[in-house]
């Protein structure tokens, strides 16, 4: 967890506040978005971040309903998460990225 603390941010998208990290060690690194599974959070990636951040700009978020992100009263469908992640990416101003 200590590796991510300096990189923690919060963003609000459609009145939903989400926690995310954005690690940019080199401006030329291509963005890599890490999306956790059910029951996960940003911390799910802590064992991978150190290595991945040597080659990529690392972005990971607590999806709505998980980790330290808001838990809105919505139907948590795949469509909801796809649309939310799309808006999150746009808010960060990213046009091209890899997703894991």
Residue 54 belongs to domain with CATH number? 3.40.50.1820
Per-residue confidence (pLDDT) for residue 6, from 0 to 100 = 82
pLDDT at 100 over 70: yes
**Cα separation, 8 vs 45, whole angstroms:** 13
Number of CB atoms found within 10 A of residue 67's CB? 18
* Overall number of domains in the chain: 1
pTM (two decimals): 0.91
**Cα separation, 82 vs 70, whole angstroms:** 17
pLDDT at 2 over 70: no
Tell me which of 4-8, 27-31, 67-71 is least confident. Answer: 4-8
Per-residue confidence (pLDDT) for residue 4, from 0 to 100 = 72
Q: What residues make up the domain containing 29? A: 5-99
Q: Mean pLDDT across the stretch 71-100?
A: 96
């Amino acid at each position: 967890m200590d590796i991510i603390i300096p990189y923690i941010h919060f963003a609000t998208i459609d009145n939903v506040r989400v926690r995310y990290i954005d690690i940019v060690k080199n401006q030329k690194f291509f963005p890599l978005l890490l999306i956790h599974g059910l029951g996960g959070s940003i911390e799910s990636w802590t064992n991978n971040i150190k290595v991945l951040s040597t080659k990529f700009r690392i972005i990971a978020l607590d999806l709505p309903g998980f980790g330290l992100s808001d838990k809105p009263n919505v139907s948590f469908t795949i469509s909801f998460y796809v649309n939310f992640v799309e808006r999150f990416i746009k808010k960060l101003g990213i046009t091209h990225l890899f997703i894991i």
